[in-house]
Amino acid sequence: MKKILSIISITFLLISCVGNDKMILRESIGKINKVMVVAKISDWTGDVGKEIRNNFGELQVGLPQSEAILSVSQVAPNGFSSMMKSSRNILIISEGATENFSVKKNVYARPQTIVYVQGKDDAGIIKILQDRKTELRRIFLDADIEFTQNIFKKEKLDETQFKTLQNLGLSLIIPDKFRKVDDTGEFLWLRNHLTSGIAKSGSNNILVYSVPLVDKTTVADSIVAVRNKFGKKYIPGSKEGMYMITEKAYTPFTFDATIDGKKAYETRGKWEVKDDFMAGPFLNYTVLDEKNNRLVIFEGFTYAPAVSKRAFLFELEAIAKSMKIQ
């Protein structure tokens, strides 16, 4: 009888452990926009590694300095230790009898994203990496967007204090390090003064406003003109006649996007102050809100001379992609 009770107790304990595995996962570690690649040294130093570095190392458009979309590091399978398994973003490369591309969440830690790529040989692995190039990058970037938003949710601003967001019927997850510069009811400008390192004289900025939707077919072509109009009206320079414009010597890049389930355009480029030396990168999301016959515009721009700016723009992207429109 005691033996039976012992077996029942052990079985119940095992079931409890399995049923609560999510509760005992450790907290993941790793920098934003960084992926750990688990691959053999021969793969990493060969064509497979070259393909991965070319994909993730593609330069982010719109930045004044050369910065990769994603940073990577490598570890061999026999060095994929318990500590390494805590990494938040992992790409595992392997050879096998069948080809495979799969994604798993929270395997060894939480939050965590692991992408498994398996091919019959190097050529098969490289083909998968090439065919899923954009998807592969997006998987890790979207995971980091969600991770960043969850951090911001813990200490976010009370958006009901901003007239513009209320009037436009918008909600955003904005960390409380941002402070109001202007809030007219039609135009919102928030700023985060950077306080550490060499960038402490700089700032991260958020602009939110709306314009009527006139012609869906011309929206993408009008983005620069609209931002220049609002820059002239609301973003002054240090002297009269100075104001923010789109840098004339650099053509912005515009891509299709989706915000709150709505068609949008993502534009990355450089801003400058007319007749002054201030400049930096900007990220603009122009959202087609057909229900309300308007364009909702979120723009983030950074001023941080002499430092890398990818991380600052990524924070602004995470905030923009938290937008909800009534």
Domain match, 256 and 140 both: no
Q: Specify if 118 maps to a domain.
A: yes
H-type alpha helices, 155-271: 163-168, 219-234
Q: Specify if 12 maps to a domain.
A: no
Domain match, 165 and 72 both: no
Domain match, 116 and 47 both: yes
Paired strand residues for 325: 170
Residue 253: CATH number of its domain: 3.40.1000.10
Q: Specify if 3 maps to a domain.
A: no
Instruction: Look up residue 115 and give its two tokens.
Output: 């992408």
Task: Report, as an integer, the average pLDDT of 196-223.
Answer: 89
Q: Of the candidates 102, 127, 152, which is a domain's last residue?
A: 152
| Alpha carbon 78 to chain centroid, angstroms | 31
Residue 147: CATH number of its domain: 3.30.379
Confidence (pLDDT) at 142: 98
Domain match, 206 and 286 both: yes
Q: What number of H helices and E strands is found in the chain?
A: 9, 17
Where in the sequence is the domain holding 251, given as residue range(s)? 156-325
Confidence (pLDDT) at 80: 96
Domain match, 142 and 253 both: no
Phi, psi of 215 (to 5 degrees): -145, 115
Confidence (pLDDT) at 201: 73
Task: Report, as an integer, the average pLDDT of 264-291.
Answer: 96
Domain match, 52 and 134 both: yes
Percent of the chain with pLDDT over 90: 87
Domain match, 172 and 146 both: no
Task: Report, as an integer, the average pLDDT of 236-248.
Answer: 93
Confidence (pLDDT) at 197: 56
Q: Of the candidates 85, 120, 152, which is a domain's last residue?
A: 152
Q: Which residues have a Cβ under 8 Å from the Cβ of 301 and sit 6 or more positions away? A: 205, 207, 244, 271, 280, 281, 282, 283, 316
Confidence (pLDDT) at 240: 92
Percent of the chain with pLDDT over 70: 91
Q: Of the candidates 152, 168, 183, which is a domain's last residue?
A: 152
Task: Report, as an integer, the average pLDDT of 209-236.
Answer: 97
> Burial of 56 by CB count in 10 Å (0-12 exposed, 13-18 middle, 19+ buried)?
buried
Q: Is the pLDDT of residue 22 over 80?
A: no
Domain match, 78 and 187 both: no
Span 120-151, pLDDT tens digits: 999 999 999 999 999 999 999 999 999 999 99
- Number of structural domains in the chain: 2
Confidence (pLDDT) at 86: 97
Domain match, 183 and 235 both: yes
What's the whole-model pTM score? 0.90
Q: Is the pLDDT of residue 8 over 50?
A: no
Domain match, 225 and 78 both: no
- Single-letter amino acid, residue 126: I
Average pLDDT of the chain?
92
Confidence (pLDDT) at 200: 64
Span 169-199, pLDDT tens digits: 999 999 999 999 999 999 999 999 987 655 5
Q: Specify if 73 maps to a domain.
A: yes
